Amino acid sequence: MHIQPDALAVARALAPDEPVILNRPQAAARAAGFFASKFPGKSLYAVKANPSPTLLRVLWDAGITHYDVASITEVRLVRGVLPEAVLCFMHPVKPAAAIAEAYHRHGVRVFSLDSAGELAKIVEATNGADGAAAEDLSLCVRLRVSSEYSELSLSSKFGIDLADVAPLLQATRQVADCLGICFHVGSQAMTPFAYVQALERVRAAIVGAAVVVDIIDVGGGFPSIYPGMEPPSLEDYFAVIHRYAESLPVSYSSELWCEPGRALAAEYNSLIVRVDRRRGNELYINEGAYGALYDAAHLGWRFPVRALGGTDAAPCEDFAFYGPTCDDADFMEGPFVLPSDIAVGDYIEIGMLGAYGAAMRTRFNGFGEGLEAEVRDEPMSSQYAGGRRDPRVSDNVVSLR
Ligand X SMILES: *Cc1c(COP(=O)(O)O)cnc(C)c1O
Binding site for ligand X (CB under 6 A): 46, 48-49, 68, 90, 184, 187, 219-222, 259-263, 355
What DSSP element (H or E) covers 117?
A: helix 116-125
Give me the least distance between CB of 44 and ligand X, in Å please.
8
Smallest separation (angstroms) from ligand X to the CB of 18 = 27
Cβ proximity to ligand X, 261 vs 357, nearer residue: 261
Q: Yes or no: say if 359 and 77 are a contact pair by the CB < 8 Å rule.
A: no
Task: Give the residue with the Cβ less far from ligand X, 30 or 306.
Answer: 30
Secondary structure element (H or E) that encloses residue 178, with its range: strand 178-182
How many helices (H) and strands (E) are present in the chain, helices listed first? 11, 19
State which residue, 202 or 273, has the beta carbon closest to ligand X.
Answer: 202
* Closest of 227, 353, 331, 354 to residue 285, by C-alpha: 331
For ligand X, the closer CB: 184 or 388? 184
Within 262-361, residue ranges assigned H as helices are 262-265, 294-298
* Residue 140: CB minimum distance to ligand X, A: 9
Could you tell me how far CA 77 lies from the centroid of its own chain?
A: 17
Its sign, for the CA torsion 367, 373, 376, 382, is positive
Q: How far is the CB of 182 from ligand X (least distance, A)?
A: 7
φ/ψ (deg, to 5) at 89? -95, 90
Query: Least separation, in Å, of the C-beta of 46 and ligand X?
Result: 3
Q: Which is nearer to ligand X, 57 or 66 (CB)?
A: 66
How far is Cα 29 from Cα 288, in angstroms, rounded to an integer? 28
- What does the buried/exposed string (b/e) look like for 79-93 if buried means 16 or more CB atoms within 10 Å of the residue's CB? bebbeebbbbbbbbe
Q: How far apart are CA 52 and CA 300, in angstroms?
A: 25
Q: Closest residue (Cβ) to ligand X?
A: 220
> Of 321, 381, 313, 368, whose CA–CA distance to 348 is shortest?
321
Judged by beta carbon, residue 155 or residue 396, the one nearer ligand X is 155
At closest approach, how far in Å is the CB of 62 from ligand X? 17
Residue (180 or 261) nearer to ligand X, CB: 261
Minimum distance of ligand X from residue 262's CB (angstroms): 4
- In which element (H, E) is residue 138 found? strand 138-142
DSSP 3-state assignment of 370?
coil
Q: For residue 275, what are the CA distances in angstroms to 70, 321, 345?
A: 36, 9, 5
Q: Which is nearer to ligand X, 82 or 88 (CB)?
A: 88
- Toward ligand X, which CB reaches closer, 219 or 231? 219
CB of 399 to ligand X, least distance (A): 25
Least separation, in Å, of the C-beta of 382 and ligand X? 16
Backbone angles phi, psi at 45, to 5 degrees: -80, 125
DSSP structural state of residue 306: E
* Cβ contact 128:163 at 8 Å: no
Q: Which C-beta is closer to ligand X: that of 222 or that of 237? A: 222
- Tell me the closest approach of the beta carbon of residue 183 to ligand X, in angstroms: 9
**Phi, psi (rounded to 5 degrees) for 69:** -115, 155
Peptide bond into 335 cis (omega under 30): yes
